[in-house]
Chains A and B, each alone.
Chain A
Amino acid sequence: MTTQHALTEYLLRLGDSNIILAQRLCEWIGHAPVLEEELALGNVALDLFGQARSWLEYAAQLQGEGRSADDLVFGRNEREYRNLLISEQSNGNYADTLARQYLFDAWHYYLLQALQHSTDEQVAAIAAKGLKEVTYHLRRSSAWIKRLGDGTEESHQKMQQAIDDIWTYSGEMMMTDAIDAPLVAAGIVPDMTAITAQWQAHVSTTLTEATLCCPAQDSYMQRGGKQGLHGEQLGFLLAEMQFLPRAYPDAVW
């Protein structure tokens, strides 16, 4: 595999994870528990869409087939999507949404922190810009984990349940495969060992402060999203998201 091909795949994974998670957050709009959260959810989604666009534009450029970020978002089916499984999990209740967000944000934060030192200038630039946003995302989601974990008896139970339920999808964020190896060797992307340790430390500290139990780090972890093997919900999400350009292929918007 050439480095360029590997990087394209890596960018798709990043971009798709952002897109799918942002799309999930959009589903909350108008339904959030409080007005300030409507704003925050929209804010985070907006950031993630923006980052996704940057990653996917770069991926399209590397592909060199004249495709745009939009072509990638609206023209690929679920077998071609490369997002992490955690990002496609349905919203559930507010604790489910925040558990998903927090575990993702913590990973995202440390990953972008490393990627801003990438030997690939464009990767470094996109990561540096994204990191500012993700720093805010992580501050917000970790604060909510504590609020709900250490709030009322009911919120504590819901938060613990949410963490337990989503946990099996967290491991994939740290897993590597043949795509990563040449990129790590070229200094384009970081080795996941250090990031895994940082992520684990952040998560176990936050959960402890939130009076929650941290599930075992060596629990069985689901995988497949990065290879295009998704859960059953992604097809529905894409059907909704891609409806217009699919129904009106000749249209300009």
Chain B
Amino acid sequence: MYAQLVDTGVKRVKTLDEMAPQERHFQEKIDADIKIEAKNWMPEAYRRTLIRQMSQHAHSEIVGMLPEKNWLTRAPNLKRKLQLLAKIQDEAGHGLYLYSAVETLGADRDEELEKLHSGEVKYSSIFNYPSRSWADMGTIGWLVDGAAIVNQVVLQRTSYGPYSRAMIRICKEESFHQRQGYQILLEMMHNGTEEQKAMVQDSINRFWWPSLMMFGPHDSDSPNSAQSMQWKIKRMSNDDLRQRFIDQTIPQLELLGCTVPDPELKWNEERGHYDFGAIDWSEFYSVLKGNGPCNRERLKTRRDAYDNGAWVREAAHAYAKKQQQEAA
């Protein structure tokens, strides 16, 4: 999940009877699974929540390029280098889709970027973890994109039309890269040296818990979820998505021949799900507050890129203006 904590600003979910006619009409559309489109009336809080969630999602795509770029110049062969480059390029493209979708809500891409740079709007906590080895390129593809896909597949049914359509497009590309990530790990585990296998296990050990945190806090600690669910911005709860992710990931882990750093992980016959250990929420909140291993570096990189590029953007504007004047 690329938007982990989105404040709807709503204290209590209203019933239909409590709503003014316009709002009730809106909620009835949502209940009937009719998509909301840009020009439709929507509650201000719905608009704000979506802008927050979608811009967080867009920022995550952009910041998410950085841990992978880290290994782009060091990819071990041409095939992997091309795959990784194509993946990073797709992420930039996903960012573009999402910023476009955000703009349908009356937001402005540059203003949203400013909020990212000032720390007012977050991006996914996962990208504050360093990529320390080549195996991380496999793990990020498999686990991190895997978690994102579990979330995004559900978001294809989100109530806001432009967001839903962006998710449909993004999921198609994302699934492809996720398989490539898994392939990186499979190759190393099944045909690699002992050193490579250790590299893979070490990477899974480092990314397992942060990946589970991508789904956000427990439902009981997620006070804004109820409103997001009523608006059908969210279609499944954090805990349900996390469980789904674990259930589908463990067989893939077994096929790799790896383990997860969770002694409590066990199949529960009765529930038909895997049980798993407690997540370290203090780490989660600490990363969200800016104290993860790479928060400062990631934000500084984005800010510097933006600041250093100012003269280029200004030149492009000035040139475009001259061209327009000449044409007129």
Contact = CB atoms under 8 A, between A and B. Distances in A.
Given A152-B315, A241-B73, A94 B88 contact: no
A94 B312 contact: yes
A32 B85 contact: no
Interface in A19-44: 23, 26-27, 29-39, 42-43
B32 interface: no
Given A30-B66, A70-B77, A39 B93 contact: yes
A155 B311 CA distance: 7
Contacts of A49: 78, 81-82, 85
A242 to B, nearest CB: 9
Contacts of B76: 74, 244-245, 248, 251, 253
A138 B70 CA distance: 28
A172 B66 CA distance: 35
A137 interface: no
Contacts of B295: none
A67 to B, nearest CB: 13
Contacts, number: 140
B176 to A, nearest CB: 15
Chain B at the A interface: SS class: helix
Contacts of A177: none
Interface centre among A32, A73, A240 (most CB of B within 10 A): A32
B29 interface: no
A192 interface: no
B182 to A, nearest CB: 14
B133 to A, nearest CB: 9
A147 B315 contact: yes
Contacts of A250: 193
Contact of B82 (A50, A158, A252): A50
Interface residues of A, number: 47
Q: Which of B92, B302, B313 has the most CB of A within 10 A?
A: B92
Interface residues of B, number: 51
A65 interface: no
Contacts of B62: 35
A30 B69 contact: yes
From DSSP, what is the main secondary structure of chain A's interface residues?
Answer: helix
A140 interface: no
Given A147-B319, A253-B188, A32 B309 contact: yes
Interface string A145-186: 011101110110010000000000000000000000000000
B312 A33 contact: yes
A46 interface: yes
A32 to B, nearest CB: 6
A241 B77 CA distance: 9
B79 to A, nearest CB: 8
Contact of B319 (A29, A150, A240): A150
A243 interface: yes
Contact of B301 (A30, A146, A245): A30
Contacts of B302: 30
A187 B240 CA distance: 67
A154 B311 contact: yes
A111 interface: no
A107 B149 CA distance: 43
Contacts of A42: 85, 88-89, 92
A241 B74 contact: yes
B314 A152 contact: yes
Nearest to B95: A35
B319 A31 contact: no
Contact of A46 (B65, B85, B306, B322): B85
Contacts of B309: 32-34, 37, 94
Given A38-B92, A49-B85, A151-B318, A240 B312 contact: no
B299 to A, nearest CB: 12
B115 to A, nearest CB: 16
A169 B295 CA distance: 40
Interface of A: 23, 26-27, 29-39, 42-43, 45-46, 49-50, 52-53, 69-70, 73-74, 93-94, 146-148, 150-152, 154-155, 158, 240-241, 243-245, 248, 250-253
10 cross-chain pairs, A with B, having the tightest CB-CB distances, nearest first: A33-B309, A151-B315, A155-B315, A42-B89, A33-B312, A244-B76, A253-B76, A147-B319, A38-B92, A29-B69
Interface of B: 62, 65-66, 69, 72-82, 85-86, 88-89, 92-93, 95-96, 99, 134, 184, 187-188, 191-193, 195-196, 301-302, 304-306, 308-319, 322
14 contacts: A29-B65, A30-B302, A35-B96, A37-B312, A38-B65, A46-B82, A46-B86, A49-B81, A49-B82, A93-B308, A94-B312, A151-B315, A155-B312, A250-B193
Given A42-B85, A74-B76, 7 more contacts: A46-B89, A74-B77, A148-B315, A151-B318, A152-B318, A154-B315, A245-B76
